[in-house]
């Protein structure tokens, strides 16, 4: 039996660009046939609905509360909800984003300087604590120049090679080619910000149901997942 997971999803509670609540997103995921989702709201100043003048502890609590709402709805309707985030380093002017899995609220609380780290500092810190990093939609702004693309592949655990929100032009194809050239694990995600989009499911398919985010990480690392759409290129 195949199990479908969305690896990239936003809520309006935490992501300023989101326009559907966490509960609405989970119910829509249920309707589309997802077994589970990873809620990956934006963790960067300017893209969160949290007041960044608040103490860091309160900012973290605000951010995590969106996941808790999603998890509550998931428990009620039968969708497994896992915690993650989409990170962008403050020093980066090129709009590069990183899906981060396998860490928790305690990690966020212990690292109050997180939003001030460079990309390398961030990746090193996440890996030091056992987290997983996949670059999201690496080439979405490639028309601006080559620097608006993928980062050093040695900083990454994987690459989002299909993003349903960026399913136009060569954006996804370039990500796929980058991942293939550097032999990096591949994943797909909806990048949904609203329940009405995307219209069809997008994500990874596992042969075994994931009991935790670490089951998903292991499946990605060891290439035990299929992509949906199945034949991207």
Closest CA to 193 of 87, 4, 40, 80: 40
With tokens 């460079």, the residue in question is: 118
Domain segments of the chain as ranges: 3-228
- In order of 7, 149, 150, 175, 180, the CA distances from 170 in angstroms are 21, 12, 14, 9, 15
Q: What is the pLDDT of residues 141-173, one digit of tens each?
A: 877 777 778 889 999 999 999 999 887 778 999
CA pair distance 112, 198, nearest whole angstrom: 34
Question: Is the pLDDT assigned to residue 3 strictly greater than 70?
Answer: yes
Percent of the chain at pLDDT exceeding 90: 77
Q: Which residues pair with 227 in a beta bridge?
A: 204
| Through-space distance between the first and last CA atoms of the chain, rounded to whole angstroms | 25
Instruction: Say what the pTM is.
Output: 0.95
Distance of CA 181 to the CA centre of its chain: 22
pLDDT score recorded for residue 128: 98
Q: Per-residue pLDDT averaged across 38-47, rounded?
A: 87
- Whether pLDDT at 233 is above 60: no
Is the pLDDT at 93 greater than 70? The verdict is: no
Per-residue pLDDT band for 9 (boundaries 50, 70, 90) equals: very high
- Given a contact cutoff of 8 angstroms between Cβ atoms, the answer to whether 138 and 161 are in contact is no
CA-to-CA distance for 74 and 210, rounded, in angstroms?
A: 14
Given pLDDT bands bounded at 50, 70 and 90, which one contains residue 90?
A: low
CATH number of 3-228: 3.20.20.140
Cβ distance 104 to 129 under 8 Å?
Answer: no
> Over the stretch 60-83, which tens digit does the pLDDT of each residue have?
999 999 999 999 999 999 999 999
DSSP state of 142: G
Please state, in angstroms and rounded to a whole number, the distance separating the CA atoms of residues 116 and 45.
10
pLDDT for 88 beyond 90: no
Residue 221 has what pLDDT?
98
When pLDDT is cut at 50, 70 and 90, the band that residue 95 belongs to is confident
Q: Is the pLDDT of residue 31 over 60?
A: yes
- Please report which confidence band the pLDDT of residue 231 belongs to, taking 50, 70 and 90 as the band edges: low
Tell me if residue 140 falls in helix, strand or coil. coil
């Amino acid at each position: 039996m195949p199990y479908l997971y969305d690896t990239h999803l936003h809520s309006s509670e935490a992501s300023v660009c989101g326009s559907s609540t966490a509960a609405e997103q989970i119910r829509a995921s249920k309707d589309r046939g997802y077994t589970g989702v990873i809620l990956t709201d934006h963790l960067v100043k300017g893209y969160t609905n949290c007041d960044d003048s608040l103490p860091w502890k309160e900012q973290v609590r605000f951010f995590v509360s969106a996941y808790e709402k999603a998890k509550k709805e998931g428990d009620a309707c039968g969708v497994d909800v896992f915690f993650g985030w989409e990170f962008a380093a403050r020093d980066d002017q090129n709009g590069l984003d990183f899906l981060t899995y396998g860490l928790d609220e305690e990690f966020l609380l212990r690292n109050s300087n997180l939003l001030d780290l460079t990309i390398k500092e961030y990746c090193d810190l996440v890996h030091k604590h056992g987290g997983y990093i996949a670059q999201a939609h690496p080439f979405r702004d490639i028309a601006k120049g080559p620097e608006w693309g993928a980062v050093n592949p040695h900083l990454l655990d994987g690459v989002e090679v299909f993003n349903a929100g960026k399913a136009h032009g060569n954006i996804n194809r370039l990500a796929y080619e980058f991942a293939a050239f550097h032999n990096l694990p591949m994943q797909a995600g909806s990048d949904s910000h609203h329940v009405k989009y995307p219209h069809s499911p997008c994500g990874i398919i596992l042969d075994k149901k994931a009991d935790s985010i670490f089951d998903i990480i292991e499946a990605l690392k060891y290439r035990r997942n299929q992509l949906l759409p199945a034949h991207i290129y």
